Amino acid sequence: MTAQSATSATEGFRAARDFLLQHREDYETAYQGFAWPRPERFNWALEWFDVIAEGNDRTALHIVEEDGSETKVSFAAMSARSDRVANWLRARGVRAGDRIIVMLGNQVELWETVLAAMKLRAVVIPATPLLGPADLRDRVDRGRARHVIARAEDTAKFDDVPGDYTRIAVGGAGADWLDYADAAGESAGFEPDGVTLADDTLMLYFTSGTTARPKLVEHTHTSYPVGHLSTMYWIGLRPGDVHLNISSPGWAKHAWSNLFAPWNAEATVFIHNYTRFDPARLMDEMDRHGVTSFCAPPTVWRMLVQADLGRLATPPREVVAAGEPLNPEVIESVRRAWGVTVRDGFG
């Protein structure tokens, strides 16, 4: 890995981050004294993540599967792995400004890919694996996607999605699909081929389309990486925390609380994958792996309070809800059982 040097943008970001950490329990001081970093140039993957990752063997990402198998990736290893993916994607024709549909689950390759795309100044269009061919045609067309990275089990969905786009499969490649695993053979030294302007596009999210046709929402190299210092502060994340946010890839909340907020704080992203929600198993995993902060939608909180909350021996220090409003009685049940108050954020 090529060690990334801290820049003035890095130091400005660090100063803002550290100010929020210092005044986590003093909202008035934080509110009055905080100033948003406004760099002209900033690449969060290169100028923040790679800087904090250098020589850092603490766990950046910890995934526990339903069968009990685990994957842990350190900050240093994640930096090197994303370098390799960036070099490999560049050799496959990915250029600055190219749009990449990323349709992956909660798997290591998702985090590698987002960091790699950021380093290349490519634009990520996150997509949930639940999408079908009709939705994907719309995303490829309106998103003007030039590349697609998808799980091998989802590649057939693109059989009827026309377009001259690079097809990359994770988990084994079939006909006309490149094998993502080949990226592991690339060099871990990445050199950017240009500067990243703060207002360059980083992500394009399609809205849920609940009431109308899904819309495209643009986020830049500062709106999410810098903007979610606020999420770090609201959740209460600190360096060394183990943060569990229950969210599906493809939705914006996943980027907020499974990428930017925890790694802004230098915390571990903890994931428990399951096919059917089991509150007892979830609490067992939270205890076993020392989860210190927990965010979940109201549907999960309501299922949790139907179980024995006392099963969790060491409750998280910080608990939050996001999505629609959470019932006050659920908040009170958690307060009685765990001694902490669920902070309810919605909108």
pTM: 0.96
Tell me the per-residue pLDDT of 167-197, one tens digit each, with 9 for 90 and over.
999 999 888 999 999 999 999 899 999 999 9
* Nearest-10 crossing angle of helices 298-306, 328-338: 50
Tell me the per-residue pLDDT of 54-90, one tens digit each, with 9 for 90 and over.
999 999 999 999 999 999 999 999 999 999 999 999 9
- Residue 210 Cα distances to 102, 207, 213, 214, 239, angstroms: 22, 8, 8, 8, 37
Domains, the chain, with CATH or none: 8-226 (3.40.50.12780), 235-346 (3.40.50.980)
> Quick one: which H or E segment has residue 7?
none
With a cut of 90, say whether residue 152 has pLDDT above it.
Answer: yes
Band of residue 5 on the pLDDT scale cut at 50, 70, 90: confident
With a cut of 80, say whether residue 209 has pLDDT above it.
Answer: no
Q: Which of 75, 143, 63, 73 is nearest to 103 (CA)?
A: 143
Question: Higher confidence at residue 215 or residue 155?
Answer: 155
For the range 213-216, what are the long-range contacts, defined as Cβ-Cβ under 8 Å and sequence gap of 24 or more? 214/138, 216/142, 216/143
Helices (H) and strands (E) in the chain, counts: 13, 14
The reported pLDDT for the residue numbered 60 is 98
With a cut of 70, say whether residue 4 has pLDDT above it.
Answer: no
Tell me the per-residue pLDDT of 98-122, one tens digit each, with 9 for 90 and over.
999 999 999 999 999 999 999 999 9
Listed in sequence order, the residues at least 6 apart from 185 whose beta carbon sits closer than 8 Å to its beta carbon are 84, 88
Band of residue 347 on the pLDDT scale cut at 50, 70, 90: low
